[in-house]
């Protein structure tokens, strides 16, 4: 019997909320409307994949421009697509300028792994689960020849907190341990490659009415009873592009951290994964998927994607109107049976 696939995302979902894990991995539900923030992040990953992939410079640049254009097909008419389309182009242009040369060579892109989940106490493999995933990139440092994962992130903020938490990031610890076991080669750590998403907005200008209200206010305050105010016109695409370009001249829009991960880190991560599988087995056996109401609004102001369903006590109309069925672990493709390295 084939084993149940666990990925980083699946493990993370279970840790955050068991009900969420069940809705995604047993009922296969996803919202009909894609999350814009997650979508932008996935486009950025695809941009990085092309940038560090094979091919000559001109071909890559063309492919990246096409990718961004195709990812936001309605950028001429839809305001949110237009914003993200401008942003992605500016992020990429800024990124190229910021990193004209790299201290590493790319060994692999979107490298997949598949490994048994091992009980760290007995060394035995789980009969129920296997661990699979895909890392953004694998690179080799030019100086010492060490292998590192290259993980791309796009983030609204790069705060001290964000950086402080990186060594405990479950995802990079898991990927490093898993790929190292899959390839049977030591991976020294992770290059955490963060690009900030500028929060600039293209000005929409004023309507005639808004202008008249503002002008009347200014006249009221003016000693002469007059105002030379002019109506604010919408910001042109060119002007907005220029503002974004300038924003990305700022080196603080980019951040890289090299983290070394030890054998103790790998053992701790393996133990954590094993412990989660035990909890999943218990939940499965008892068919008990406890909701974690603390997690519903955990990520900023946006609720969890299943909030409408949970809030409605699993109302079938909500289920039919807001969700569709999609296979889990869509990010994975069929693996070759043997490691490629």
Binding mask 238-277 for ligand SF4 (x = CB under 6 A): ----------------------------------------
What b-and-e string marks burial along 200-214, b requiring 16 or more CB atoms within 10 Å of the CB?
A: bebeeebeeeebeee
149 DSSP β-pair partners: 138, 190
Note the residue count of the chain.
Answer: 341
Burial class of residue 127 in the structure, from the number of CB atoms within 10 Å of its CB (0-12 exposed, 13-18 middle, 19+ buried): exposed
User: Of 19-27, 32-40, 241-249, 328-336, which segment contacts ligand SF4 by CB under 6 A?
Assistant: 19-27
Q: Is residue 188 a contact partner of residue 218, using CB atoms and an 8 Å limit?
A: no
What's the closest the beta carbon of residue 27 comes to ligand SF4, in angstroms? 11
Pairing mode of beta strands 29-31, 4-6: unpaired
Quote the DSSP letter at residue 334: P
Q: Is residue 164 a contact partner of residue 222, using CB atoms and an 8 Å limit?
A: no
What's the closest the beta carbon of residue 282 comes to ligand SF4, in angstroms? 18
Per rule CB under 6 A, is residue 31 in the interface with ligand SF4?
Answer: no
Distance CA 192, CA 146 (A): 15
User: Of 2-10, 12-20, 134-142, 329-337, which segment contacts ligand SF4 by CB under 6 A?
Assistant: 12-20
Distance CA 275, CA 126 (A): 11
Give 261 or 310: the residue with its C-beta nearer to ligand SF4. Answer: 310
Per rule CB under 6 A, is residue 323 in the interface with ligand SF4?
Answer: no
Considering only residues 99, 260, 293, 299, which one is a binding residue for ligand SF4 as defined by CB under 6 A?
293
Considering only residues 241, 292, 318, 335, which one is a binding residue for ligand SF4 as defined by CB under 6 A?
292
Q: Is residue 150 a contact partner of residue 194, using CB atoms and an 8 Å limit?
A: no
User: Of 90-98, 258-266, 306-314, 331-339, which segment contacts ligand SF4 by CB under 6 A?
Assistant: 306-314
Per rule CB under 6 A, is residue 17 in the interface with ligand SF4?
Answer: yes
Per rule CB under 6 A, is residue 304 in the interface with ligand SF4?
Answer: yes
- Judged by the rule CB under 6 A, the positions of this chain that interact with ligand SF4 are 17, 19-20, 23, 291-293, 295-296, 304, 306-307, 310
């Amino acid at each position: 019997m084939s084993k149940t696939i666990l990925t980083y995302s699946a493990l993370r979902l279970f840790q955050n909320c068991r009900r969420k894990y069940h809705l995604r991995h047993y009922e296969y539900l996803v919202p009909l409307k894609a999350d814009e923030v997650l979508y932008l992040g996935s486009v950025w990953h695809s941009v990085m994949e092309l940038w560090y992939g094979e091919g000559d410079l001109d071909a890559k640049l063309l492919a990246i421009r096409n990718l961004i254009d195709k990812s936001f097909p309605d950028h001429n008419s839809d305001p949110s697509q237009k914003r993200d389309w401008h942003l992605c182009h500016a992020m990429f242009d800024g990124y190229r300028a910021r990193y004209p040369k790299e201290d590493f060579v790319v060994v692999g892109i979107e490298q997949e792994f598949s490994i048994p989940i091992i009980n760290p106490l007995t060394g035995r493999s789980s009969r129920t689960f296997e661990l699979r995933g895909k890392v953004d990139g694998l690179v080799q440092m030019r100086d010492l020849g060490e292998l590192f994962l290259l993980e791309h992130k796009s983030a609204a903020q790069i705060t001290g907190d964000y950086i402080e938490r990186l060594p405990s990031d479950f995802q990079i610890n898991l990927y490093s341990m898993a790929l190292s076991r899959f390839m049977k080669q030591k991976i020294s750590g992770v290059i955490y490659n963060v690009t900030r998403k500028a929060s600039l907005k293209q000005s929409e200008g004023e309507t005639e009415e808004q202008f008249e209200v503002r002008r009347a206010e200014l006249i009221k305050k003016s000693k002469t009873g007059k105002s030379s105010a002019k109506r604010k016109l919408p910001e042109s695409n060119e002007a907005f592009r220029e503002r974004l370009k300038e924003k990305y001249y700022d080196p603080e829009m980019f951040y890289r951290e090299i983290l070394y991960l030890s054998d103790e880190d790998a053992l701790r991560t393996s133990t954590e994964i094993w412990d989660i599988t035990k909890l999943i087995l218990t939940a499965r056996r008892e068919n008990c998927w406890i909701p974690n109401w603390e997690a519903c609004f955990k990520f900023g102001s946006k609720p969890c994607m299943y909030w409408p369903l949970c809030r409605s006590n699993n109302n079938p109309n909500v289920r039919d109107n807001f969700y569709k069925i999609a296979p889990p672990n869509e990010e994975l493709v069929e693996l070759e049976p043997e490691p490629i390295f």
